[in-house]
């Protein structure tokens, strides 16, 4: 039996049980892993989000009379560390299932672990299409819209602009390579006559912005597709702005409208870029406003995309366990995820049984600077259900 004293003794257990039920209620232990130290700008708001969601569930009495207890670990941002941590959570902490991870290659490693151990894993941030395709498995569900899905949203925004010569810049690891591959494919399918004239793949976290910008300028593209993020993005934006690289060119950029990456740019945000992101202050929906108010009240800060994602995952976990009546049998939980609809602050979402991809969407708009900070304008929400990978493409490679 897990007591309040036991929970407080666990340094990594981040959800405390309500005092009135701590001593009496059975708990469901859930394992969570994320690159908290390496990608704090995303990971800390994400943790705030799932803590808020899990806290609400427990405050309402839990699920089927059981409280939810999250045992959290830092995955180190490497595949080896992540698999070791996942093993510790499953074998040592006896968690019933896993959620989390940030980097795509780390997510793939944990997905493979979940497949081998036959344990449920809900991938939070990983975007690589491989998680839905040849490296996906029936035990792994993905929450965010994939790289292909978000790239398709951006291509739809620019397909009628007449831009023919494109350059690509993306980090040289799984996510970046997947983003470039998706753009090549979609360019051929949806923008006949367009071509890629240059590609740059700087090492993750080690971009030489001057050399990267110089290579792009030498190719003289009409448009740039960017998939850089975090510190690499900031260096790229600043170098390109100094040189005037973006002037007179169409730039489409994955993730750049997310506050995690847009806020640090401040007034240096590249005006006019077409981006995917999260304009938290411009979403006029009662459920979303309620989420923002609850988040601000608890954390005295505005939400980031990670905050929303963490909260939605917590609500998904609650809905899944409600459907199973508190059972944590893996097959029962998988069946529940395949049939439930989850009510979220941005509308209902489901998981497609074919590849376990959720229908959570993303916002697309242009960057502007308002009151000295970057923001998104001309925003539209793109429903993920309209951008799922083609079923025929998935069926070709899925073997589970």
Residue 301: which of 283, 276, 281, 285 has the closest Cα?
A: 281
Query: What Å distances lie between residue 276 and 142, 228, 280, 399, CA to CA?
Result: 18, 12, 13, 31
DSSP H helical segments within the chain, as ranges?
4-9, 19-22, 40-59, 79-87, 104-117, 147-158, 174-190, 209-219, 230-243, 259-262, 286-299, 305-323, 330-339, 391-397
Return d(Cα 174, Cα 196) in angstroms, integer.
20
Return d(Cα 326, Cα 305) in angstroms, integer.
29
**In the prediction, which pLDDT does 179 show?**
95
Q: Is 59 exposed, middle or buried (0-12, 13-18, 19+ CB in 10 A)?
A: exposed
**In the prediction, which pLDDT does 25 show?**
53
The pTM of the full predicted model, rounded to 2 decimals, is 0.91
- Taking 50 as the pLDDT cut, the residues of the chain under it are 1-24
- The bridge status of strand 250-257 relative to strand 274-277 is parallel
Q: Do 49 and 70 meet the contact criterion of CB atoms below 8 Å apart?
A: no
Interval 301-357: pLDDT, tens: 999 999 999 999 999 999 999 999 999 999 999 999 999 999 999 999 999 999 999
Interval 17-73: pLDDT, tens: 444 434 345 899 999 999 999 989 889 999 999 999 999 999 999 999 999 999 999
Return d(Cα 170, Cα 150) in angstroms, integer.
14
Domains and CATH numbers, the chain: 4-145+284-358 (3.40.50.2300), 148-282+362-397 (3.40.50.2300)
**In the prediction, which pLDDT does 6 show?**
44
**In the prediction, which pLDDT does 41 show?**
86
Residues 6+ apart with CB under 8 A from 242: none
């Amino acid at each position: 039996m897990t007591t309040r004293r036991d929970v407080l003794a666990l340094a990594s257990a981040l959800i405390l049980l309500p005092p009135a039920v701590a001593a009496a209620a059975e708990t469901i232990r859930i394992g969570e892993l994320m690159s908290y130290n390496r990608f704090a700008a995303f990971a800390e708001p994400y943790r705030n989000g799932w803590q808020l969601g899990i806290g609400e569930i427990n405050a309402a009495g839990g699920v089927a009379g059981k409280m939810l207890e999250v045992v959290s670990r830092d995955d180190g941002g490497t595949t080896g560390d992540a698999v070791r941590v996942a093993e510790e959570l499953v074998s040592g902490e006896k968690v019933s299932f896993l959620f989390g991870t940030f980097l795509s290659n780390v997510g793939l490693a944990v997905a493979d672990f979940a497949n081998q151990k036959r344990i449920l894993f809900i991938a939070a941030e990983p975007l690589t299409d491989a998680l839905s395709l040849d490296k996906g498995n029936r035990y792994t569900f993905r929450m965010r819209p994939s790289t292909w899905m978000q790239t398709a949203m951006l291509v739809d925004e620019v397909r009628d602009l007449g831009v023919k010569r494109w350059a690509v810049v993306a980090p040289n690891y799984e996510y970046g390579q997947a983003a470039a591959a998706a753009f090549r494919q979609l360019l051929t399918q949806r923008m006949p006559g367009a071509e890629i004239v240059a590609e740059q793949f700087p090492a993750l976290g080690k971009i030489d912005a001057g050399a990267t910008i110089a290579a792009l300028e030498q190719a003289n593209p009409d448009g740039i597709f960017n998939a850089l993020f975090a510190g690499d993005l900031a260096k790229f934006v600043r170098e390109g702005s100094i040189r005037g690289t973006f002037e007179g060119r169409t730039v489409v950029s994955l993730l750049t409208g997310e506050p995690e990456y847009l806020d640090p740019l401040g007034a240096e945000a590249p005006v006019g870029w077409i981006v995917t992101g999260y304009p938290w202050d411009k979403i006029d929906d009662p459920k979303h406003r309620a989420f923002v108010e609850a988040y601000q009240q608890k954390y005295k800060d505005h939400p980031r995309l990670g905050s929303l994602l963490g909260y939605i995952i917590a609500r998904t976990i609650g809905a899944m366990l409600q459907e199973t009546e508190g059972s944590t049998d893996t097959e029962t939980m998988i069946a529940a995820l395949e049939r439930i609809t989850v009510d979220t602050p941005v509308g209902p979402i489901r998981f497609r049984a074919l590849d376990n991809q959720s229908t959570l969407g993303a916002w697309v708009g242009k960057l502007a600077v308002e009151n000295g900070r970057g923001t998104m304008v001309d925003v539209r929400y793109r429903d993920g259900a309209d951008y799922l990978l083609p079923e025929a493409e998935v069926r070709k490679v899925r073997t589970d």
